[in-house]
Amino acid sequence: MHSSPAPRPSSAFIGASWAALLIGVVTYLSGLWNAGMPLNEKGYYFTILMYGLFAAISLQKSVRDRSEGIAVTGIYFGLCWISVLLALLLLTVGLWNAALQNSEKGFYAMAFLLSLFAAVAVQKNVRDVARASATAPAELPGT
């Protein structure tokens, strides 16, 4: 049971999605680079970002696969949900216990959430573009 292909996203939406992802990740990482925290703490926050991005993309793909009738095992689907929630929980606990000002905590939280949201949008666009390209009619000779 495959649904009809989604239309190709507009170039503006694709660009905005990539820009949001780059802005979120670069902002988060520049905050870590300039932070006065120990290297192991920076590593913790970096790992949470990478884990969160992977988990969000995996969850989006799994949700979309299921909606299009592509088999996704229950255990993988559950692990995707657990991973996204765990990444959010780990960031929350880390920031709650961090010796940072509230404005810095908010900075990391917002950059993290922007990055996760944008990663989902970018993954959706990549899939929609690939699907639109695969179903596009072949060009006629001489046109």
Q: Whole-model pTM? A: 0.83
CB-based burial, 20-59: b 16+ in 10 Å, e otherwise: bbeebbebbbeebeeeeeeeebeebbeebbebbbebbbbb
Residue 128: what pLDDT? 86
Longest dimension (CA), the chain: 67
Nearest alpha carbon to residue 9 among 110, 137, 130: 130
Nearest alpha carbon to residue 132 among 17, 31, 4: 4
Residue 141: what pLDDT? 54
Q: How far is CA 114 from the centre of its chain?
A: 9
- Which ranges of the chain have pLDDT less than 50? 140, 143
Residue 7: what pLDDT? 78
> What residue ranges do the domains of the chain occupy?
12-130
